C-alpha cells in the first residue's frame, strides 16, 4: 500500500462514511482493550468518534481487532485462484497476505507472477508478494521457467512486490553461490524471507548474515530460539501437512511478539474448511496460553511492521480501515470483516462478488503428447540387479530409499503388488521435451488403476503412479485433456477428477467444490486399495529433490542426501 | 545504512577481524542475557563464535548491548560541530542518531543540511537526518532560508536523509494548509516525525491521519497514552530545558517498548557533561523500574525498526558491529564502545581522531552593518501610552505579556531598572536587510551592560538585551566580528564571549571548551546583575513566535496566542 497514500491520505476527508459505536477496541500498541467509537472515511480510520456520519453501526460491546495478516502463504497450495482464495479467507478475518507465488512461477515464470498480481488487483484484500528466489528448486528437473537475477530485479520493481521470497537454497547461500548471492544483493534493504529447516550454528550465522531475516521452517522450540537469537523473525506455521504451532507457541510472549508471526504456508482446501485461516492460529495460540492482545498483535501490527506495511495492522487514525468484529475475543469468533471500511464478510460468508479477471494466458499449460508416452522399464540382463525404490510413508514428505530386485515379466519390470511396489513416472509437461522418467515406488497400497497429478512441487510436471502402464497413460491423457489437475483411473476409465486448469495447479471453482472433488479423489484412490490418508499430497512431494531422501524428477532419480542424480538400477 | 549492504553484506568474510569472548550478551529479540562469544568481520557481526580471529578480546563476563540510538536530536543545540558532538556522545554508548538539522537549515537552507551530511560522513558514527519540514517556523520572521516542497523533495533524495523532520506546524496540518500537506505527501511511506504539544481528540486524529507518526512533546502521561493509542511512537525526551522521563516512564513496558524510544532533542554542553547522553536516559529508566532488557531494546532495536534502519540495534549476524561494553548493566556503566567493530571510546574518552572537514561555506554568516544600527524607541506623544513588554521567567520558554507605561528620557524610551525593564532587539543577520525590531523585556535583572546571541530559535537572527543602546551596539558588533556566538558586554567592553563561528550557532571547539566558555558567560551575566539561571537559554527562545505568549522577531512583536503581529505601543 506504500505506493498509495497521496490525496486520500493527506487530503481532508469530506465526510465520515461509517461510524462504529460502542466497540471493545483492541489497541495493539498498548495491549489495552477499551470501549469506544471508530470513524471511517475514504477507506481509512480517521478517528475515535465523529459528530455525524453517513452510516452508524452500534457494535454493542463486541470486540474490534485489526484485520489479520498471513505472513507467508503460497496461494496456489489452496488450489484456488486468488479470487476464490480471498473469498475463502476473508470470512476468517484475514485481510492481508504476503504471498510467495513460486508454484505458478515454476510453471509460467514472470507471466505466472503477473497473473497473481492481476488476479489480486481490485479485490477487497491486500495481497503483497515476494519475488520467488528459487525457481527452479534444483538443477535436476525441468521447470516451466527459470528465474535468474534479472527476473528477480524486474519483479522487485513491480508494485506490491515487497521483498524476496523464501530463499530455500540455503546450502547455496552458506556456500556463497554467486547466482543466489546475486538475488540477495538485488533485494538489499527489502524484506528477505528465509527457509532453513534445521540450520544451526555457523551455517545459520552465514545464512542470516547474507540477508534472510525470517524463518517458517522451525520444527523444535530449540531451533526457533536459536534462530530468534540470530535475528530471524519466526513465522509460526500451521499448514495442512506441516504443523508447528503447538511446538513453537512457548516462543510467543509479550516480549518476543514483535518478532513472532503467524503463517499458513501451504494450506489445502479441506484444512481451510475445517480450521479456517489465521483466526485458527490466533485462537489456538490463545487457547494455549498466549494473551489475546499479544497473539493479535503478533498477527497484525508486528507482521505489518516486519514487512514494511506502514498503514496496516492497527485500529488508529491514518490506518486502512481493515478490521474484524468478534463476538468473542478469547475464542476469536469472527462476526464481521471490513476492508477499506466496507463489510466484506459476515457470519462465515464472503459478501463480495469478486470480479473475474482474464485467465486465458494461464490455461492450457500441459504440453504432452500422450500417444508417444512409454512407461516401460527394461529389466537389467542380470536377474539379481537391485533397483532403487522410493518408499513413501503416510503424511510424510520425506521418502526413503529401499533396494530390491524388481519383479519382471517378458524382460520388463512390472508392478509387484505382493511387495506393494508399483511404477511411478514424472512426465515433463511444460516445454514438450518428451522427458519421461520412470521408477518404482513402495507404500501406496494401490491394487489396480493409477493416480496422476500436475501438482508436483516445485516444477509441477505431471506425476503418475499406477499398477499398469495403460492406466497410467489414460491418467496422463486425462490431465492433458483437462489442462491439468488430479485424476484417479481404473481399468481404462477416469473414476474421479479434480480439474486444475489454471497453470495445472489451481481450480477456477469455489472452495467447497474443490474440497468435495478432493474428497472424491481420496475415496476413489481408497477404493483402488490405496492405504495413504492423503495420496495426492504424498504424490505432490515425490518429485521435489530438495527434500530427503530419494526423489524422481522428469530427468530421473535424485539422491537428495548426496544431491546428485542416480540410476534406477544400482 | 540501507543504501550500503552490497558486497560487504553479501560477500563472504575472508577472515574474522575480532572475536569477543565470554560476554554477557543482551539479546534484544528475546530479552535474554546469555554468556557467549561474538565474531566481527568487515564491520559486521558475523556469528557467535569463530575457530580463529585476528584479534581476541576476553570480556570476562562484562555486558554487551547494541549501540544506543538517539531517536531525535538537533545536533546544533549542543553548540558543537558534528565531529565534536560525536566525540562527546560516543563515550556514552550512543552510536547512532536521527538528527533534524532544522537549526542550521534556518540559517543556510540546503547548504546547511549538506554541511551536516558532509560533516558526519566518514565519522565512526551513524548520523541519519530528517528533512526539516518547518523552515521558517512562522511567517513573522526573516530566516536565512525558506524550505518549500521542492527543497524537501530534494533532501529526501539524499543518502542518509530517511524521513521528514518534526512537523511543528500542527495547526497547519490540522487545518489542511496546502504547503504543509505538500511536504507530508512528498514523504509518503517514509518516517515522519511529529511535534504536537498538547494536541488531543479530533485535532490529534487529523494530525496523525496526515502522516506524523512520532511525538516527543508529551508532558503528561495521559497525553502520551492518548498519542500512543492514536498510533504515535512516543519519544521520551530529556533535553536540557525540557525533561519528560520521570513523567513518561510508566508508559514504557515490555508490551509498549516497540513504540517507545528515547531522545535528547536539545541538549546543551553542560548537560552532556553532567548527565551524558542516551546512556543517562536508559540508566534513569532502569533506576525508575524499567527492566534493563526492555529499556535497552527501546533505545536500540525498536528505534532502528521504527526508522527503517535494518542493520542496526541488535547483536546478531548481519548487523553492524556497533556495540557497547558495560561493566554494569543495572547502572549502564559504559566501559568501551565499538562502531563497525572498531573501538571508538573507552573509560569516558573518545579514542578517534575525527577528521576535520571543510567548513568554509558555513562561516561568516552574520551579515550586519553595526555602524547603521539603532535601538532607539521614540516615545509616543501621549505620555500615558502603554507598551507591550515581554516578561520572561526563570527556566521557562513561555513568556508573558505585561503592559506598562515605559520610562522615557528626551522623548525616547529608556531602560527602567526599578521595574527590571530593559531593551531587547532582534537584528536580522542573514540577508543584510537592515531589519531591526526593538522592544522591552522584563525579568532579566540586568543592572548594566548587554547580552547578545546569534542562537535564537528558529531563525537564529541576532538577539540582544541591554541597559544601554551603546553596550547593545558593542555586543552586536562583537557578534559580527566573530561570525556569531554569545557575548556579554559591560561599559563598552566585551567581558565574556563564546564564539560560534559555524553558522553562528556552533563552535569548532571540543565539548569541554564550549562548556567552560558557557559557564563564563553565565557568571559574567550574573556579575551584571542578571538573575536568570540560564540567561542565554532564555534569550534563545525569546524570538520563537510559535511558543506563547509574546515574542519579538526581526519584524516586530508577535502575539502568539492570536498568531499575529502587534505593535509595541497598545
Radius of gyration of chain A (CA): 25
- Least Cα distance to B461 among B506, B492, B425, B499 occurs for B425
pLDDT band at B8 (very low <50, low <70, confident <90, very high): very low
Considering all CA atoms of chain B, what is the largest pairwise distance in Å, rounded to the nearest integer?
A: 90
C-alpha torsion angle, residues A520, A522, A525, A529 (rounded to 10): -130
Question: What is the per-residue pLDDT for A241?
Answer: 86
Instruction: Provide CB contacts within 8 A for B88, sequence distance 6+.
Output: B78, B80, B269, B272, B277, B350, B510, B511
Is residue A320 a contact partner of residue A340, using CB atoms and an 8 Å limit?
yes
- Residues in chain B closer than 8 A to A12 (CB atoms): 176, 206
Q: Strand, coil or helix: what is B149?
A: helix
Question: What is the per-residue pLDDT for A357?
Answer: 77
Is residue B323 a contact partner of residue B39, using CB atoms and an 8 Å limit?
no
Closest CA in chain B for residue A189? B2
B172 min Cα distance to partner chain A (Å): 12
Strand partners, A421: A416, A442
CA distance A137 to A4: 34
- Say yes or no for a CB contact (<8 Å) between A209 and B44: yes
Question: What is the per-residue pLDDT for B14?
Answer: 64
In this predicted model, what pLDDT tens digit does every residue of A287-331 receive, in sequence order? 999 999 999 999 999 999 999 999 999 999 999 999 999 999 999
Mutate to test the interface with B, among A189, A228, A300, A319 (most CBs of B within 10 A): A189
**Is A5 a residue whose pLDDT tops 70?**
no
Helices and strands, counts by H and E, chain A: 16, 30
**CB-based burial of residue B457 (10 Å sphere; 0-12 exposed, 13-18 middle, 19+ buried)?**
buried
A142 min Cα distance to partner chain B (Å): 29
If one counts every other C-beta atom within 10 angstroms of the C-beta of residue A289, the result is 11
Q: What is the mean pLDDT of residues A271-278?
A: 97
Question: What is the per-residue pLDDT for A383?
Answer: 73
Closest CA in chain B for residue A25? B229
List the single range of A12-21, B6-15, B184-193 with lowest mean pLDDT. Answer: B6-15
pLDDT band at A10 (very low <50, low <70, confident <90, very high): very low
Closest CA in chain B for residue A32? B229
A467 min Cα distance to partner chain B (Å): 50
CA distance B195 to B234: 11
pLDDT band at A106 (very low <50, low <70, confident <90, very high): very high
User: 3-class secondary structure for B4-40?
Assistant: CCHHHHHCCCCCCCEEEEEEEEECCCCCCEEEEEEEE
Q: Is the peptide bond before A71 cis (omega within 30 degrees of 0)?
A: no
Instruction: Provide CB contacts within 8 A for A554, sequence distance 6+.
Output: A141, A142, A426, A427, A428, A433, A435, A436, A437, A459, A461, A543
CA distance A427 to A158: 33
In this predicted model, what pLDDT tens digit does every residue of B395-435 receive, in sequence order? 888 999 999 999 999 999 999 999 999 999 999 999 999 99
Nearest CB to A256: which of B30, B208, B228?
B30
- Say yes or no for a CB contact (<8 Å) between B189 and A2: yes
**A77-115 burial by CB neighbour count: b if 16+ within 10 A, else e?**
bbbbbbbbbbbbbbbbbbbbbbbbbbbbbbbbbbebbbb
**Is A546 a residue whose pLDDT tops 50?**
yes
- Say yes or no for a CB contact (<8 Å) between A29 and B259: yes
A287 min Cα distance to partner chain B (Å): 20
Question: What is the per-residue pLDDT for A11?
Answer: 47
pLDDT band at A14 (very low <50, low <70, confident <90, very high): low
Question: What is the per-residue pLDDT for B380?
Answer: 78
Q: Strand, coil or helix: what is B156?
A: helix
A262 min Cα distance to partner chain B (Å): 17
Mean pLDDT, chain B, rounded, equals 95
Is residue B97 a contact partner of residue B127, using CB atoms and an 8 Å limit?
yes
Closest CA in chain A for residue B312? A231
Question: What is the per-residue pLDDT for A1?
Answer: 31
Q: What is the mean pLDDT of residues A94-109?
A: 98
A393 min Cα distance to partner chain B (Å): 37
Question: What is the per-residue pLDDT for B9?
Answer: 41
A62 min Cα distance to partner chain B (Å): 19
Q: What is the mean pLDDT of residues B82-89?
A: 97
Question: What is the per-residue pLDDT for A13?
Answer: 62
**Is A401 a residue whose pLDDT tops 50?**
yes
Strand partners, B58: B21
Question: What is the per-residue pLDDT for B13?
Answer: 62
CA distance B552 to A232: 54
Polymer length of chain A = 570
**Is B383 a residue whose pLDDT tops 80?**
no
Helices and strands, counts by H and E, chain B: 16, 30
CA distance A361 to B182: 42
Question: What is the per-residue pLDDT for A453?
Answer: 98
Is residue A484 a contact partner of residue A366, using CB atoms and an 8 Å limit?
yes
**Is B242 a residue whose pLDDT tops 80?**
yes
- Residues in chain B closer than 8 A to A259 (CB atoms): 29
Phi, psi values for residue B288, rounded to 5°:
-85, 0
Instruction: Provide CB contacts within 8 A for B287, sequence distance 6+.
Output: B331
Question: What is the per-residue pLDDT for A6?
Answer: 32
B404 min Cα distance to partner chain A (Å): 44
Question: What is the per-residue pLDDT for A7?
Answer: 34
CA distance B290 to A420: 64
- Least Cα distance to A356 among A119, A128, A75, A79 occurs for A119
- Residues in chain A closer than 8 A to B176 (CB atoms): 11-12
pLDDT band at A354 (very low <50, low <70, confident <90, very high): confident
CB pairs under 8 A between A and B: 160
- Enter the DSSP assignment of B250: G
Q: How far is CA A218 from CA A233, A242, A263, A394, B27, in A?
A: 11, 10, 12, 21, 19
- Residues in chain A closer than 8 A to B9 (CB atoms): 185, 188, 209-211
**Is B116 a residue whose pLDDT tops 60?**
yes
In this predicted model, what pLDDT tens digit does every residue of A51-82 receive, in sequence order? 999 999 999 999 999 999 999 999 999 999 99
Q: What is the mean pLDDT of residues B504-517?
A: 97
Q: What is the mean pLDDT of residues B355-371?
A: 91
Q: What is the mean pLDDT of residues A214-234?
A: 97
- Residues in chain A closer than 8 A to B30 (CB atoms): 225, 228-229, 255-256
Question: What is the per-residue pLDDT for B468?
Answer: 98
- Say yes or no for a CB contact (<8 Å) between B205 and A317: yes
Mutate to test the interface with A, among B15, B176, B181, B189 (most CBs of A within 10 A): B189
Q: Strand, coil or helix: what is B113?
A: helix
Instruction: Provide CB contacts within 8 A for A543, sequence distance 6+.
Output: A141, A426, A456, A457, A459, A461, A463, A551, A552, A553, A554
Question: What is the per-residue pLDDT for A3?
Answer: 32
Strand partners, B451: B465, B488
Polymer length of chain B = 570
Nearest CB to B46: which of A10, A44, A209?
A209
- Say yes or no for a CB contact (<8 Å) between B12 and A176: yes
Mutate to test the interface with B, among A45, A229, A312 (most CBs of B within 10 A): A229
Nearest CB to A317: which of B7, B11, B208?
B208
- Residues in chain B closer than 8 A to A47 (CB atoms): 202, 205-206, 209
- Say yes or no for a CB contact (<8 Å) between B189 and A310: yes
Give the position of cell 531494546.
Answer: B297
Is residue A459 a contact partner of residue A142, using CB atoms and an 8 Å limit?
yes
Does B228 or B11 have the greater pLDDT score? Answer: B228
Give the position of cell 532587539.
Answer: B425
DSSP-assigned letters across all residues of A101-129: -HHHHHHHHHHHHHHHHHHHTTSSSEEEE
In this predicted model, what pLDDT tens digit does every residue of B161-220 receive, in sequence order? 999 999 999 999 999 999 999 999 999 999 999 999 999 999 999 999 999 999 999 999
pLDDT band at A523 (very low <50, low <70, confident <90, very high): very high
Amino acid at each position: 500500500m506504500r505506493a498509495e497514500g497521496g490525496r486520500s491520505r493527506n487530503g481532508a476527508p469530506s465526510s465520515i462514511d461509517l461510524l462504529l459505536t460502542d466497540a471493545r477496541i483492541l489497541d495493539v500498541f498498548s495491549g489495552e482493550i477499551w470501549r469506544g467509537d471508530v470513524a471511517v472515511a475514504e477507506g481509512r480510520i480517521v478517528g475515535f468518534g465523529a459528530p455525524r456520519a453517513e452510516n452508524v453501526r452500534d457494535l454493542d460491546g463486541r470486540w474490534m481487532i485489526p484485520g489479520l495478516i498471513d505472513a507467508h502463504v503460497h496461494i496456489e497450495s489452496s488450489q484456488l485462484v486468488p479470487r476464490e482464495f480471498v473469498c475463502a479467507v476473508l470470512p476468517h478475518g484475514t485481510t492481508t497476505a504476503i504471498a510467495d507465488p513460486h508454484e505458478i512461477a515454476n510453471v509460467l515464470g514472470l507471466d505466472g507472477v503477473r497473473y497473481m498480481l492481476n488476479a489480486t488487483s481490485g479485490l477487497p484484500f491486500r495481497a503483497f508478494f515476494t519475488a520467488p528466489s528459487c525457481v527452479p528448486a534444483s538443477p535436476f528437473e525441468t521447470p516451466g521457467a527459470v528465474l535468474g537475477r534479472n527476473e528477480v530485479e524486474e519483479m522487485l520493481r513491480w508494485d506490491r512486490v515487497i521483498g524476496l521470497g523464501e530463499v530455500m537454497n540455503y546450502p547455496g547461500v552458506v556456500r556463497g553461490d554467486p547466482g543466489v548471492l546475486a538475488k540477495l544483493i538485488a533485494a538489499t534493504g527489502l524484506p528477505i524471507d528465509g527457509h532453513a529447516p534445521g540450520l544451526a550454528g555457523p551455517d545459520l550465522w552465514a545464512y542470516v548474515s547474507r540477508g534472510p531475516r525470517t524463518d517458517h521452517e522451525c520444527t523444535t522450540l530449540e531451533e526457533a530460539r536459536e534462530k530468534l537469537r540470530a535475528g530471524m523473525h519466526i513465522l509460526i506455521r500451521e499448514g495442512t501437512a506441516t504443523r508447528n504451532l503447538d511446538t513453537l507457541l512457548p516462543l510467543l510472549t509479550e516480549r518476543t511478539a514483535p518478532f513472532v508471526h503467524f503463517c499458513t504456508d501451504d494450506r489445502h482446501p479441506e484444512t481451510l474448511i475445517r480450521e479456517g485461516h489465521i483466526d485458527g492460529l490466533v485462537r489456538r495460540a490463545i487457547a494455549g496460553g498466549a494473551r489475546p492482545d499479544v497473539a493479535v498483535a503478533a498477527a497484525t501490527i508486528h507482521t505489518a511492521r516486519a514487512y514494511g506495511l506502514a498503514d496496516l495492522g492497527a485500529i488508529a487514525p491514518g490506518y486502512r480501515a481493515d478490521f474484524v468484529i468478534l463476538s468473542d475475543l478469547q475464542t476469536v469468533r469472527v462476526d464481521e470483516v471490513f476492508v477499506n471500511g466496507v463489510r466484506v464478510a459476515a457470519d462465515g460468508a464472503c459478501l463480495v462478488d469478486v470480479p473475474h479477471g482474464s485467465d486465458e494466458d494461464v490455461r492450457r499449460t500441459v504440453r504432452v503428447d500422450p500417444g508417444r508416452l512409454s512407461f516401460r522399464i527394461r529389466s537389467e540382463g542380470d536377474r539379481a540387479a537391485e533397483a532403487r525404490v522410493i518408499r513413501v510413508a503416510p503424511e510424510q514428505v520425506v521418502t526413503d530409499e529401499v533396494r530390491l530386485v524388481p519383479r519382471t515379466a517378458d524382460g520388463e519390470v512390472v508392478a509387484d503388488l505382493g511387495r506393494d511396489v508399483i511404477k511411478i513416472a514424472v512426465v515433463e509437461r511444460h516445454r514438450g521435451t518428451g522427458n519421461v522418467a520412470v521408477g518404482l515406488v513402495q507404500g501406496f497400497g494401490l491394487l489396480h488403476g493409477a493416480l496422476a497429478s500436475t501438482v508436483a512441487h516445485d516444477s509441477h510436471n505431471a506425476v503418475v503412479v499406477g499398477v499398469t502402464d495403460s492406466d497410467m497413460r489414460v491418467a496422463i491423457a486425462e490431465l492433458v485433456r483437462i489442462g491439468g489437475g488430479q485424476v484417479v483411473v481404473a481399468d481404462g476409465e477416469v473414476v474421479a477428477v479434480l480439474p486444475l486448469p489454471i497453470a495445472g495447479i489451481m481450480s477456477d471453482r469455489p472452495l467447497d467444490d474443490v474440497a468435495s472433488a478432493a474428497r472424491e479423489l481420496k475415496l476413489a484412490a481408497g477404493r483402488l486399495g490405496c492405504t495413504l490418508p492423503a495420496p495426492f499430497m504424498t504424490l505432490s512431494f515425490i518429485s521435489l529433490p530438495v527434500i530427503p531422501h530419494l526423489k524422481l524428477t522428469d530427468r530421473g532419480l535424485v539422491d537428495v542426501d548426496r544431491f546428485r542424480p542416480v540410476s534406477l538400477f544400482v
